Amino acid sequence: MPVYVLPELDYDYSALAPHISATIMELHHSKHHAAYVAGANTTLDKLAEARDAGDFANVNRLEKDLAFHLGGHTNHSIFWKNLAPQAGGRPEGELAAAIDEYFGNFDKFQAHFTATAMGIQGSGWAFLAYDVVGKRLIIEQLFDQQSNIAAASIPLLTLDMWEHAFYLDYKNVKADYVTAFWNIVNWADVSARFDAARTHGSASLLF
Ligand code: MN
């Protein structure tokens, strides 16, 4: 039995159109995400083989591979849950209050998050995260699937800025993809992650 398994989506591949097309969703989930799942499982197997053989010559590459593929699996699993058809709008309740407290107001938060996404050099992600140490919301800019983030931060809202996430629909116009993203944010899911992160800390990724 593989350790990591590709999760089913809560909606059809076509459900997020016109913001994200069915073509992108099918490729992104069934090919790209699936490849991260396979890569993470394969890397665990290779690390087990290395331990059995007492041969750690490739340990640096394997640890990098594990971070990359497991990061990819984790990020995409959360990303799918962060999206929903007929969603968007603004958060409510304690999440809305926390966004006001730590970013000034929703518009400032949205501008900060959007700039973080748009500014990525190469492939990466923008995250709204709960920082367990400071007990506050922060925005993070990931490089690739795993770099440039603090180990004790918990992703709440994630935006995939790899070209595979938008290029078929938006070509080089990343700004239109980010604008479309705000129309399909599942704030109920983000709020549930925020509640769990504050209550249970880093154990609560809520897949
Ligand atoms: Mn992706």
Q: Report the distance separating Cα 62 and Cα 81, nearest Å.
A: 29
pLDDT tens for 143-177 read 999 999 998 899 999 999 999 999 999 999 999 99
Dist. CA 53 → ligand 1 center (Å): 34
Residue type, 127: F
Neighbours of ion ligand 1 (CB under 5 A): 160, 162, 165
* Domain limits, the chain: 22-82, 93-200
- As a CATH number, domain 93-200 is 3.55.40.20
Q: Assign domain 22-82 to its CATH architecture.
A: Orthogonal Bundle (1.10)
pTM given for the model: 0.96
Dist. CA 106 → ligand 1 center (Å): 26
Q: Give the DSSP per-residue string, 167-182.
A: HHHHTT-HHHHHHHHT
Q: Is 65 left (phi over 0), alpha (psi -120 to 50) or beta?
A: alpha
pLDDT tens for 119-139 read 999 999 999 999 999 999 999
Residue 201 is classified by DSSP as: G
Q: Report the distance separating Cα 56 and Cα 164, nearest Å.
A: 34
